[in-house]
A and B are shown apart, each in its own frame.
Chain A
Amino acid sequence: MNMAKPLVFVVEDDPSLGTLFSDVMQDMGLDTQLIRDGRLANQQLDTAVPDMVLLDLHLPHVSGLEILNRIRSDSRLEKTRVAMITADAVRVKEAQGKADLILIKPIGYFDLRDMVAKLLPEHALPR
């Protein structure tokens, strides 16, 4: 197990849900950065290299889908895992094949645990 905590970007415009996702991630021993806006997320990604991005589909300014495409086209971020989260069960299909995981709201505590176990296996907490 690496001593350095993995970095997770939580990109979610709803403050309550974003904070809650951050709490759960931190609870699992991950470093989190909460970003509420697509443009800010893009700026952060210019410098930082997160291990995982929890990415909402609907975001102000820049959509989650655009950020996903940017990550996938950036060789610097090739190891970054992306979990797409959305309340739109219809439009989420556009992310199929690009995102590592697609989660439809509501996302439960155990869904998040399973997600971390799947995308960051070496950092997964024992259940």
Chain B
Amino acid sequence: MVMDDTRPSLIRLKRNPTIFTFSLGYLGQVITFGAVYFLVARLGFLIPFNGQLSVLVWPATGLAFAVLTRSGIRYWPGAALGALLVALSNQYSIPLLIGFVAAHTLEPLVGAYVLRRHTHFRSSLEKVNDVLALVIIGAFLSALLGASVGTLAIRLSPEGVNRIYSYVWWEWWAGHTISIVSIAPVVLTWYANRRMNWTVNQWIEAGIGLVGLVLISAVVFLQFSPSGNYPLGHAVFPFLLWFALRFGPREVASASLVTLIIGIWGTATGTGPFSRSNPDLNVLLLLSFVLSVILTALIVSSVLAQLRRAREALRQNNAQLEARVTARTAELSQANNLLQQNIIERDQIHGELVHARDQALDALRLKSQILANISHDARTPLNVIMLRTEMMQVGRYGAITDKQKETLDGISLNARELLTFINNLLDEAQYDTKKLRPVPVEFKPHDWLKQSVDAMRPLAEQKHLQLMFRVAEDMPSTLNNDPEWLRKILNNLLSNAIKFTAKGHVCINVNKVDANHWLLMIEDSGMGIPDEALPHIFEAFWQGDGSVTRDTNRGVGLGLSIVKRLTRILGGEIVVESQVGQGSIFKVTLPFEMKKEADEHG
């Protein structure tokens, strides 16, 4: 019988249950259900009973209860059809037929409706609540309602004459309770789980358990006659509990049914502990036995199922947790490896950087050493040249002609240029090795300027240039700075101005700029500096390209870069204005007082 409405074992709250459906499939299902109901009902008649009713056990109502609970109350017409067929086959009178059909329809319909509507019922019966709900509703709602309606129908029908209605009611209720609580659990649990994925060992165990249960049930219920029956009903419990311990509710319900069938059969045929002379007492004994078997077996099995589920959930959680821990550990380990690798790489890079820095420092030291050596080694021969020239100039080697004097002046001029260059080289070397530190002292700007200019005067005179200087009247009488450094700045600028000026003048002006600064300005009427060269002239070792001739350009490379560097260290700034063919103006702005820490190297 296939009546699965695709519902899972959990039967959910249903506000508006469907009572009718009109489809061919539904009609076929209802007819099939009715036929099965009829056949199962006829089975009840096979069990002899001589009470007020002609039949005690009504297995069809247990089936109907389960089907309507599991598949939906809209299948009630199947139960009605089955009951109708039974009534017709028994040739009931019309009143009894109507009452009979109504009783057997209402019984499963109301029970299933309440069970579906008012409880979160699982047909797998794995919870104690579900077991209790099934038994209580089945016994005290469905069977009670059926018994009441059925008794009323019998009372009103011709067949009800000469019957004791209280016994009718009692027998109906007891018989239907027995039927519902023994049959419905089997049907429901098999609906909930139809798979048979047992191991071989489980098959063997189930087989042994079933054989044992059948044997003990047979011994208890079928062996002894009424005169020799003993209260041995409890003997079936060990086997049922065995099933409960080792299997699920489905197997327990099935095994219970086997025991109950044997028990009912024995009782009905006059053997077993419940077979006494009073049939109504027998019914009571049988009812109590059925209820205790079902309740005990199903409750124990549901409790164990719950435990099993909890244990399984715990195991799964543990496994999940373990998997997560493993994954996380792997991630951490990977991250750690990466980190370690990064550290190693960084250490390598660090080592390379240190090496590169050491090499750069070595190279810098070597450069400084080479520059210092050049400066040092050039001084001795330069000294010879200058001294010989001077001795000839002063006539120590005899009288000289004008032409010779002019030549000697030229040699002298170039020797001084060479000396300036050598001094610059030494400054550059000392700057790189940080040996260069200004020493501020107080000095008189006018005297300082006069001395410096006078030292350069012979060079200007040789080229017939006008060399003038002027100190503004508002300048302080003393300054606090390094006069030797300032002299280097001035000498470089002045020597450039004289070198690049063919005719005209070179003027030096010293002015006050503001409360803290003064300006040293060197102006010439020389060749000027091309615009494209202006941005580069303060760069070390830079020399102009083809725009100026090689001859006039020599010496520019180092001097201006040193001037700029010294100016910066002294806390000043230098700018240049120039126009090709007109001349150049170098403006050096300097503070009156040197800062305490002259550490602005670059």
Contact = CB atoms under 8 A, between A and B. Distances in A.
B390 A110 contact: yes
Given A27-B396, A106-B379, A20 B390 contact: no
Given A87-B376, A89-B426, A90-B430, A107 B383 contact: yes
A107 B380 contact: no
B383 A106 contact: yes
B574 interface: no
Contact of A105 (B382, B390, B391): B382
Contacts of A107: 383, 387
Contacts of B387: 17, 20, 24, 106-109
B264 interface: no
Nearest to A85: B383
Contacts of A23: 391
B388 interface: yes
A24 B380 contact: no
A16 interface: yes
B388 A106 contact: no
Contacts of A106: 379, 382-383, 386-387, 415, 419
Among A24, A87, A88, A107, chain B packs the most CB atoms within 10 A around the CB of A87
B396 A108 contact: no
B2 interface: no
B435 interface: yes
A25 to B, nearest CB: 12
B394 interface: yes
A27 B392 CA distance: 13
A108 B430 contact: no
B196 interface: no
A74 interface: no
B376 A109 contact: no
Contacts of A27: 396
B384 interface: yes
B379 A87 contact: yes
Contacts of A105: 379-380, 382-383
Given A90-B435, A107-B387, A17 B426 contact: no
A46 interface: no
A24 B383 CA distance: 13
A28 to B, nearest CB: 11
Nearest to A113: B394
A87 B426 CA distance: 11
B258 to A, nearest CB: 118
A78 B430 CA distance: 36
Nearest to A58: B376
A17 B384 contact: yes
A37 to B, nearest CB: 16
Contacts of B375: 87
A14 B387 CA distance: 14
Interface in A1-37: 14, 16-17, 20, 23-24, 27
A102 to B, nearest CB: 14
Nearest to B390: A109
A24 B384 contact: no
A16 B384 CA distance: 7
Contacts of B377: 87
Nearest to A107: B383
Contact of A88 (B376, B381, B383, B388): B376
Contact of A87 (B380, B390, B396): B380
Contacts of B435: 90
Nearest to B415: A106
Contacts of A109: 387, 390-391, 394, 396
A105 B419 CA distance: 10
Contacts of B396: 27, 109
Interface string A84-105: 0001111000000000000011
Contacts of A87: 375-377, 379-380
Contacts of B391: 23-24, 109
A72 to B, nearest CB: 25
Nearest to B433: A90
**Listed residue (B372, B376, B435) with the most chain A CB atoms within 10 angstroms of its CB:** B376
B384 A108 contact: no
Contacts of B382: 105-106
Interface string B387-416: 110110010100000000000000000010
A55 B146 CA distance: 142
Interface in A61-90: 87-90
Interface string B16-28: 0000000000000
Contacts of A108: 386-387, 390
A114 to B, nearest CB: 13
A64 B390 CA distance: 27
Interface of A: 14, 16-17, 20, 23-24, 27, 87-90, 104-110
User: Lowest 8 A-B CB distances belong to which pairs?
Assistant: A106-B383, A87-B379, A109-B390, A105-B379, A87-B376, A105-B383, A106-B386, A14-B380
14 contacts: A16-B381, A17-B387, A20-B384, A20-B388, A24-B387, A27-B396, A87-B375, A87-B377, A104-B379, A105-B379, A105-B380, A106-B419, A108-B387, A109-B394
Given A16-B384, A106-B387, 6 more contacts: A17-B383, A17-B387, A24-B391, A87-B377, A109-B394, A110-B390
